Amino acid sequence: MAKIDFGGVLEDVVTREEFTLEKAREVLKNETIAVIGYGVQGPAQALNMKDNGIKNVIIGQAPEFKADWDRAAKDGFVPGKTLFPVEEAAAKGTIIMYLVSDAAQRILWPKIKPHLKKGDALYFSHGFSITYKEHTNVVPPADVDVILVAPKGSGTSVRRNFLAGAGINSSYAVFQDATGRAEERTLAIGIAVGSGYLFPTTFEKEVYSDLTGERGVLMGALEGIIEAQYQVLRENGHSPSEAFNETVEELTQSLIRLVDEKGMDFMYVNCSATAQRGALDWKGPFREATLPVFKELYRKVSSGEECVRVLESTSATNYREVLETELKEMRESELWKTGAAVRKLRPNK
């Protein structure tokens, strides 16, 4: 491991230079890696491993979910050879990558657990099912490794970054080391799926930070403040195009790229003095206004309340219909209809 200074705090990280792809291939050469679920993370991690020369990668996917089954076949996984129904793949695997949704993990667990053999590894990319085991009933047998690699991005980003020659940073954790090789297996998979670098965590910390981030800055808070600013501008007579460009387009097409390049201070340096002064003056009030919300959010995540909410809502028979209604409302709002029009007006690259 390398010691890296993160803002004055030294942390251990694992880089591709320390744990090479060649080493990952060696560690995994006798493993059969069964990727259970070909929905969000499954395709990206499976294809990245294949492209990285990991030989024995198979898919477990319910054939009745025809779109995902056909997608796996289109991506080169062969029915009866490298593409199987879920239970058959789990029985064949020595590392079972449990990459179905959190709600589906609870439902499928009684079918997966009987196929876990002594010395197998049960792999997650989210700490949800293990951390909230009193709600999910996912309790692995004591004679298997229980490991985690959690890419800090969507499956789409994991694949895109890999194809671009970059990588998505990932956290990793070992919950249960039955073989004495759990950490080695974890790091090998982490490198094989294309991680930029790996940093240690626990299953509990991973799910607490992940659920807070998704509900907060990454998605929930982002959409909330975008809606609020757009509304204020429109109420004060600004056109939809002007309100959208000042709220979303400049953020996504200009400023966030500067933050990505060299940090927030670099973005401030590359903006006008008027923008700098105003941003520095107003970041405090926004922080103080949102801090109580974030504290309440973290409390609900750590107490399990958010877990119960997720499981109850996603298990409802009409969940897909409710979800589509909520997304349609967002999609058909003036804000995001304006966004669709603005994207069409971008110059062709």
Catalytic residues: 126
| Under 8 Å between Cβ of 37 and 125 | no
Burial 43-60 (b: 16+ CB within 10 A, else e): bbbbbbbbebebebbbbb
Of the candidates 304, 31, 48, 297, the one whose C-alpha atom is nearest the C-alpha of residue 147 is 31
**How far is the C-alpha of 100 from the C-alpha of 86, rounded, in Å?**
10
* DSSP code at position 20: -
Please report the DSSP string for 262-306 in residue order. H-HHHHHHTS-HHHHHHHHHHHHHHHHHHHHHHHHHHHHHHHTHH
> Considering Cα of 158, then 163, then 167, then 172, what sign does the dihedral take?
positive
Helix and strand element counts for the chain (H, E): 19, 10
Taking every pair of Cα atoms in the chain, the longest distance, rounded to a whole number of angstroms, is: 67
Phi/psi at 141 (5° precision):
-65, 160
**How far is the C-alpha of 340 from the C-alpha of 98, rounded, in Å?**
35
Residue 194, beta-bridge partner list = none
Residue listed under structure tokens 């294949």? 50
Phi/psi at 194 (5° precision):
95, 25
Which positions ≥6 away from 41 have C-beta within 8 Å?
Answer: 99, 125, 151, 155, 158
| Under 8 Å between Cβ of 3 and 12 | yes
User: Are β-strands 95-98 and 83-84 bridged in parallel, bridged antiparallel, or unpaired?
Assistant: unpaired
| Under 8 Å between Cβ of 281 and 199 | no
